[in-house]
Structure 1
């Protein structure tokens, strides 16, 4: 099973411009994934779909971008999103008590989508009601391999200005539900506009790079009262992740939609390398 993930689209950043940079970057990524072989089984879009959640036109852009797209798309919401305008355009997306939380069942790997949007907060949120929903879903199939998808990674990353408080109540609440479960094979998220991998609550947590511009890699301290001219946002290529479930483990890969120069092809000359590795049993 192959899962494609994109995140942090921020459509509507240039309000009123249907050909804005973020839409072009999204289109570039979608076309790249459409052509990928093997084609992914599903596409997880993990939040900050719109740059301003009240902007219904941003959600119309998203709906237009995915119209007739050959890979089934499923959505999380991020802190830039708003539930009511999203549901106006995507009424088919399941919800639980008004939260965008639901299970994706019809694949070898079960996926539980979580809603970590907390209105008027840049960081995440996960109330007792949402936690009870997750606990109930996990208890339904306690042995089945399960992937969690959410927008906010619940861990401190060392990034200078865009990270989470590890002592936040929502982080503790989510940790309490996740940590005892041995069937959770991974957690995927967005929000930080960078590719990051960490171990959290006994499982691998993968942060996907954005389709929109990236946050600069900066682990130095920052003074909110003293601008110092450091880079904050950089024009890295539109990013995505591919999560491969091989029946036993989840393997995550990062990629970009940039057309890269080819340094070698599978021709007669390179065939010797392929045959040699195959003959050696790839390490068996």
Structure 2
């Protein structure tokens, strides 16, 4: 049984690992040959051993790596089944802003309390992968003060805790073969801090829906809703569906690049998809999330995060691809 009392027959990857001070978000595509596929999958199958090899040097660094598999890569595994909701990221073309869909066969979400552990793990990871993959995107994230984003607001306040964590993130009996797995959506957002900083604190708070200093929720406005409202998904009965965010700031002041890497783990992929539709299309239509006026989505990719048992056996059947 998991923390929510549901039967999960497999051990999940560390989706619920504590928020870290450092992270690397690495998205790659696998080369076209069967040999490249097999090499990449052998590395993926042994990822837990690599975590142990690096992590034992300081257990307090809490090194972890979650692996996600994209829809195109899943189709090359030679399996007759697939996770019920797994499909490529669906682009959202709003009247003013777009959430693009970008390639990605594998996601490596590397986390640690020390950046040197993330660095060493990634170095050894590429040593094993060799020329089997091509990098699509690599982002080095960091904890910014008291878990704030570069817009100055606390990020991740609405994350589930305790018993609600497993229910929000882990697939259960509704897709029994893939129980213990999860879906994850990643997007890289680039911020126009110059435009953002022309707004008063009160105007920024109205966009986010929280007070900047103490993170207290503010009452919403109609018809223009705040970011925190548009990113909250409920059913017709008012039941709220949580996701687990492990967003991190990234940037280079010298290059003038500032951003937030969104990463959302969920048991129900449709929840994240509906959240993005509300943000980019507006709810009601035409009233898009005003955070998008200063935050541009540069990437968008969806992955399935298998259970550890499924991950360790991922090579089987793929050699003929």
TM-score over 0.5 (shorter chain): no
Q: TM-score range by the shorter chain?
A: under 0.3
**Structure having greater relative contact order (Cα 8 Å, sep ≥ 6):** 2
What is the TM-score when the length of structure 2 is the normalising length? 0.25
> Larger % of helix: which?
2
